Amino acid sequence: MVSRPGKSDPLDAVSAARAALSGRAAGAPKGRDGAVAIRALMVVKRGADAERTRAVNQARSLILTGPDDLRARFARHSAAALADAIAALRSRPGDAAEYAVRVALRELGGRAEFLEGLDELIVPLVTARAPGLLSLYGIGSDTAALLLAAAGDHPARLRSEAAWAHLCGVAPIPGFVGEGPAASP
């Protein structure tokens, strides 16, 4: 495949830098409105979601190898129910091993609960930015927030499904190279 002259990432970067330094660049900085806040909270939420999964997995491991009463109490809990239950667990003085396991489980439960607080911050921002979006079938707060974060400050540029596909990097690539069409398999 023959590439067009001047179309490489390093050359594009140099060209953009020269345009910015000379004043020819017409780009606008990102705004400081809801899209930035949504984007920031979704980055934190992604990390918190991974942390919650790790915390629940660690808690299950501690329960499996921990005292019999804790194993019987938490054996069949779902991930969400387990996170809530261990966050409310109280440590009781007594056997050092059981006390340590209870303290560790309570700490892991607290880590898992952080995720719920983020949703309480994200939903009002999404509602303020796009009031009707959450009422659409199949659109929850995470999907709406990701859509608004991807659209950014200029949602008008998404005039069609094709424009959205190009923004997301999933637009179909033509099946030919050079002058003629490629042979179909």
108-146 pLDDT, tens digit each: 888 777 777 788 888 999 898 888 888 988 888 888 888
In a domain, 8, yes or no: no
Average pLDDT, the chain: 78
For residue 144, what pLDDT is reported? 87
CA dihedral 122, 126, 131, 135 (to 10 degrees): -70
Q: Residue 21 domain-assigned?
A: no
Which carries the bigger pLDDT value, residue 28 or residue 53? 53
Q: Could you tell me which residue, 179 or 137, shows the higher pLDDT?
A: 137
Asked whether residue 68 is domain-assigned, the answer is yes
Mean pLDDT calculated for residue range 40-46? 89
**Residue 103 is assigned to a structural domain of this protein:** yes
Domain membership of residue 18 (yes or no) is no
Q: How many other β-carbons are positioned within 10 Å of the β-carbon of residue 70?
A: 19
Length of the chain: 185
Query: What is the domain count for the chain?
Result: 1
Split at pLDDT 50, 70, 90, the class of 156 is confident
State the pTM of this model. Answer: 0.59
Domain coverage including residue 45: 31-152
Alpha-carbon distance of 44 to 142, in angstroms, equals 12
Residue 139 inside a domain? The answer is: yes
Q: Is residue 91 part of a domain?
A: yes
Residue 181 lies in a domain: no
